[in-house]
Structure 1
Amino acid sequence: MSHNSLKILFFTTLMSGMFITISSNSWLSAWMGLEINLLSFIPLMSNNNNIFTTEAALKYFLIQALASSTLLFIIISKSLIESMFTMLNSSFTSIMISTPLLMKSGAAPLHWWFPSVMEGLSWNNCFILMTIQKIAPLMLISYTINFNVFLTFIVLSSIIIGAIGGYNQTSIRKILTYSSINHMGWMLVAMLMGENMWILYFLIYSLLTLTIIMIVMPFQISFVNQTYLINDENKIMKFLLFSSLLSLGGIPPFLGFLPKWMIIQFMMTNWSMVIISIMVVFSLITLYYYLRISYSAFIILSSEPCWNYKSNESLSIMITSFLLMSISMLGLIASTTFINIF
């Protein structure tokens, strides 16, 4: 009981730190919110039943502390140099502030810590790290973002590394990690369209990630070849996993295609075709390792062992996953219908 109470306490302070950063009107209070968020997540990562969590927590703390100290140094330096900390069309200042925030959010090429930290976490903490922990840094990045050579480099490196990095992985945690890095590139481009666009992209990405984690978590799946542990009698769960992965990859009938569709249309009318062509090609490459997760579960010749794990929560998990997947399948149709009618 006390363990659960501590988790509730730290999760509350984690969310409080995020809201402090989002609602702050000064960089110092934004940094303070990031620190509260960081120090609340470290105890949530600890788990006595998993020997890898200590290493993951230490790595995460060191990287986040480095990024936070760099951000604080930049803020104090700019405040001393300027009487008022104003970024008067200074792309160099934007680059300096964005770099530690990009490290915090795990964008390439500042992503080296992300896969190893994810590998040592439980599925609940993986979801927090891939979604909630990125909200505050991304919100601060959106304040300073400018379309320049630096942003183009970050976007293309995130897209390319996210696609190639997960190509030869067998761990589902690492596959979702490189998927998150790939989607970071798309979210950075969505920021140029406006605040509403990247928030929409982030919400859809979080929904699809939650659906996938809710499917693999009760079956205790960690690797691609373990997906056959999903019972052969439970074809619905396999279908939900398959559909959610397709939606995460951005296949047109699903909701995951909607934000990418809007970004592609926006970039085609504003910039050269080269950047968007590279983004689309490497996003298609990510579909390979999305589909590979479902391949061993759907293959006709797969066998089911007699020691298969039977989840006691299969009915509730199935209902929740089915509702989330229904939003994913029907969201694009509902959105386009609503726009055409009204």
Structure 2
Amino acid sequence: MGIKQNFKIIGSGSYYPKRIVTAEEIDRRVKRAPGWTESHLGVRTRHECVAPETMVTMGCHAIESAINDAGIGWGDVDYVIDCSTSKFRPIPCNAAHFQQSIGAAANGVPCIDLQSTCLGSILAIQFSNALFTTGAYRHILIVASESALQGVDWCDPKSAGLFGDGAAALVLRYSPSDHDLLFAHETFAEHLDLCKVDGGGHFRPSYQYRSDDDREYRFQMDGRNVFRVALRLLPPMVQKMKEAYLETNVDGINCLHVIPHQASPKAVELVRRIIDIPKDRYHVAVREIGNMVAASIPAMIDRVRKSNLLPEQAPLMLLGTSAGYSQAAIIFHS
């Protein structure tokens, strides 16, 4: 479970599209009485990507902010990893679209996409840590840009009311450490149909789209059963992580900060109680930004860093679940 941590986050950035959608507007879209979205889902506002903004422009804003925060230039970036769930086009990769938009300064930097829905940023950090062990990379840029509201099913208010759009980016620097990096990742594919989009791939190609099948091309979630599965499977994984952390950290669990995937207000609060972390070290903004899929966690990292809520060298756990059903956690020192 544990290997050496080989990086430090030296820059972060986030971007929220200009259009703000209130809970009252969501009530109208999902055809519910005024106040339904806030009372049932706990979401007050979120942002929506509408023209002329695109997921590429959002991602580039976040990238520029992260690079400026890191104090480096494009000549210092050795790798770009996009971990978004949203796709600007099926081919080529999102990361190449960001590079094209940025222009000549970014030419030649290798670009890839790494997709694991809501867990994308956790896996991108773990992947980057492994790349740094080769000694071939100095700086890796991770970006997630999500336009989730384009793909929600407004006939399913419990799901559609949770999501929001936005982008976030991180700059990781090769920095060998004496600290262990703890990582766990589990998939239980018997539950894969609990979160899905049937249309758009090989299973149901986009060229077969018909207007009366529109819902098959939108996000579908059995929220009640996803919650039940997570409630059963997530606590044992987190407990193992905490035990492994305690084996090598004399300060105990009392300094550990946690950023969960911003799935829903009710879900993140229940997870906090289960893992027994006080609110001042458990960082959440889902009521204001909604579930930003893979951008949720790096956006929260940017918030806590720039609000000075995360002390230097503080241990940080990133935690979440995703379609699959998958769950993952990573603990490293900030």
State the TM-score, normalizing by the size of structure 2. 0.28
Q: Which has the higher helix share?
A: 1
Larger radius of gyration, structure 1 or 2?
1
Q: Which has the higher strand share?
A: 2
Query: Larger relative CO (CA 8 A, sep 6+): 1 or 2?
Result: 2
State the TM-score, normalizing by the size of structure 1. 0.28
